[in-house]
Amino acid sequence: MEAVTDQITETWEESAPCIPVVYLLAPGSDPTGNIDELARKKKINTYKVSMGEEQEIIAKKHIDDQMRDGGWVILANCHLSLEFMAEMEEILNPKGKEIHDQFRLWITSEPNKGFPLGLLQMAIKVTTEPPKGIAAGMSRTYNTLITQDFLEKVEPYEKWRNVVFAVCFMHSIVYERRKFGPLGFCIPYEFNSADLEASLIFIENHMTTAFNQNLVISWRAIRFMVCDVQYGGRITDDLDREMFWTYGDLWLTERIFTEKDYNFNSLSDFPYTIPDFPEIQKYHEYIKTFPEKDSPVIFGLNVSADLTFRLAESQLMINTLIDTMPKEGGGGGGLTKEDAVKQKLQEDLIRQLPENFVEQDYKEKLTAMQVPRNLDPNKNVPLNIFLRQEIEQLQSVLDIVRKTMNDMVAAIEGTIIMTADLVDAINQVFDFRVPTKWQF
């Protein structure tokens, strides 16, 4: 597992003063800390601007100053200032002005269709995908955020190392738990390394104060800051907050000091214990022993949750493969895509549709049905009302499906206008998928 900082170093080596680096961010990923770390190693000043309303003037000033002085400028959330991004190509190529060789511009942005193509073409494009799996998450944390100096920040070192490992492990667990969808969290949250870093900073200050003044560590205060403030500040659902507090009650406790080889979950096949190593390299070696496939038990879930996740992941992969396949190829006999869909609709799907319900017929049949005892057949019977409503709902479905099929055939023949919805429906029928309009 390679460290993210190595990738940033390689990116920096390929960059140039007039060639910015554009990071297309995935949820939960932020390269700012790693860029700062690389800048510190090279003894270069960094200037950060979070883009938004009226931030363009500040960003332009930093760029102009560092073009002269040789610092680095980091512009975050640039999807909020697309008009300013459109000017960036001209800003980075000023006429008659020399640019310092050490100057670099780093841009982070969420994927956005309105992002200027000119800037993308001239820039080095990087995407940062979050790690998948507990082992990958812990490895990235101990390769980027946790260093040898970090392990020796607070005395006694052995207690500090245990707390750091426990918080990092909890971060990997709650981050990875999101993959289970609603089974993991009722609402998806974008936890990231900033939450972990802020939690560790608070714990560092709290433990330093406690040990210097000979006080007892307040685990309640630590759990409150981590579970309610740092991570909990993103949580809006009460059940999610309760679940997060459960993790805090289990793993942020005095037992991580008193129990030898403290195990995060004794029911898990693999013993996820808290090691105590003075060297960072030992932690790297221990994390490499983690299983590649995470058991759902370590998340507090069962095999059904893992099965649901695997099915959803497989379906996503299949849909992605189908979406990226060429659409011009036809079916048997050299048919084009449109001809193949038309043939499939006329010879198969439309014929399989049941006939529409005739209102007079089904009302007579409902009236003729036997009714339970003690009910007046001349009055509205609850079962009859329910059947009538279900028939009307099914008739609405038949109308939508039949109209969509007939419209697809007519659009292929050219008798009506081919709309975007019809193009989407034709592509999905061609790929043996259910059209989007039928899924509501």
Give yes or no for residue 151 having a pLDDT over 50.
yes
Domains in the chain, number: 3
Q: Among the three residues 128, 143, 163, which one is the final residue of a domain in this structure? A: 128
Q: Is residue 14 part of a domain?
A: yes
Write the CA distances from 367 to 355, 385, 386, 387, 390, integer angstroms: 21, 11, 13, 11, 16
Q: Is residue 317 part of a domain?
A: no
Residue-averaged pLDDT of the chain: 87
Least confident stretch, 139-148, 160-169, 225-234, 374-383: 374-383
Is 281 in the same domain as 177?
yes
Amino acid at site 300: G
Q: Cα 325 vs. chain centroid, distance in angstroms?
A: 25
Report pLDDT for 2. Answer: 46
CATH number at residue 154: 1.10.8.720
* Same domain as 145, residue 115: no
Please report whether residue 359 resides in a domain.
yes
Confidence of residue 260 (pLDDT cuts 50, 70, 90): confident
Q: Which residues pair with 22 in a beta bridge?
A: 107, 125
Q: What is the arithmetic mean of pLDDT over 232-259?
A: 92
CA quadruple 307, 309, 313, 316: dihedral, nearest 10 = 110
Residue where the block lists tokens 């490499």: 288
- R_g over Cα of the chain: 30
Same domain (yes/no): 149, 287:
yes
Do 81 and 152 sit in the same domain of this protein?
no
For CA atoms 292, 298, 304, 309, the dihedral sign is negative
Is 299 inside any structural domain?
yes
Where residue 8 falls among pLDDT bands split at 50, 70, 90?
confident
CATH number of the domain where residue 113 is located: 3.40.50.300
- In a shared domain, residues 28 and 159: no
Name the β-bridge partners of 126.
Answer: 23
The Cα–Cα gap between 383 and 27 comes to 49
**For residue 6, is pLDDT > 80?**
no
- Of the chain, the end-to-end C-alpha distance in Å amounts to 43
Query: Per the structure block, which two tokens stand in for 39?
Result: 């800048």
For 118-140, write each residue's pLDDT tens digit.
Answer: 898 899 988 877 778 899 889 98
Burial class (CB in 10 A: 0-12, 13-18, 19+), 204: middle
The answer to whether the beta carbons of residues 134 and 298 sit under 8 Å apart is: yes
Q: Are residues 211 and 272 in the same domain?
A: yes
What mean pLDDT do residues 78-99 have?
88
Q: Within this chain, do residues 118 and 139 fall inside the same structural domain, yes or no?
A: no
Single residue among 75, 105, 128 that ends a domain in this structure: 128
Query: Is the residue at 259 inside a domain?
Result: yes
386 has a pLDDT exceeding 70:
yes
Instruction: Answer yes or no: is 113 within a domain.
Output: yes
Residue with tokens 């013993």, as numbered in its chain: 271
pLDDT average, residue stretch 227-248: 92
pLDDT of residue 64: 92
Hey, which residues does 67 pair with through a beta bridge?
none
Residue (of 156, 154, 170, 243) closest to 203 by Cα position: 154
Higher pLDDT, 16 or 128: 16
CB atoms within 10 A of CB 357: 14
For residue 3, what pLDDT is reported? 44
Q: Diameter of the chain by CA atoms?
A: 97
Asked if 186 contacts 240 with a C-beta cutoff of 8 angstroms, the reply is yes
Residues 58, 111 share a domain: yes
Whether the Cβ atoms of residue 105 and residue 20 lie closer than 8 Å to each other: yes
Among the residue ranges 184-198, 202-216, 271-285, 317-331, the one predicted with the least confidence is 317-331
Same domain, 281 and 142: yes
Looking at the structure, tell me whether residues 423 and 368 fall in a common domain.
yes
In terms of DSSP bridges, do strands 46-50 and 124-128 run parallel, antiparallel, or are they unpaired? unpaired
Does residue 115 share a domain with residue 140?
Answer: no
Q: Is residue 211 part of a domain?
A: yes
Statement to judge: residues 177 and 264 lie in one domain:
yes
Last residue of a domain, one of 245, 274, 305: 305
- What is the pLDDT at residue 375? 63
Range of the domain at 180: 134-305
The percent of residues in the chain predicted with pLDDT above 90, rounded, is 39
Q: What is the pTM of this model?
A: 0.69
**What pLDDT is attached to residue 272?**
93
pLDDT given at position 373: 67
* pLDDT band, residue 194 (cuts 50/70/90): confident
Among 99-103, 243-247, 265-269, which is the least confidently predicted range?
265-269
Give the integer Cα–Cα distance in Å for 34 and 372.
73
321 inside domain: no
Q: How far apart are CA 325 and CA 319, in angstroms?
A: 10
Predicted local confidence at residue 1, as pLDDT = 44
**Separation between Cα atoms, residue 408 and residue 339, nearest integer Å:** 11
298 neighbors 269 (Cβ within 8 angstroms): no
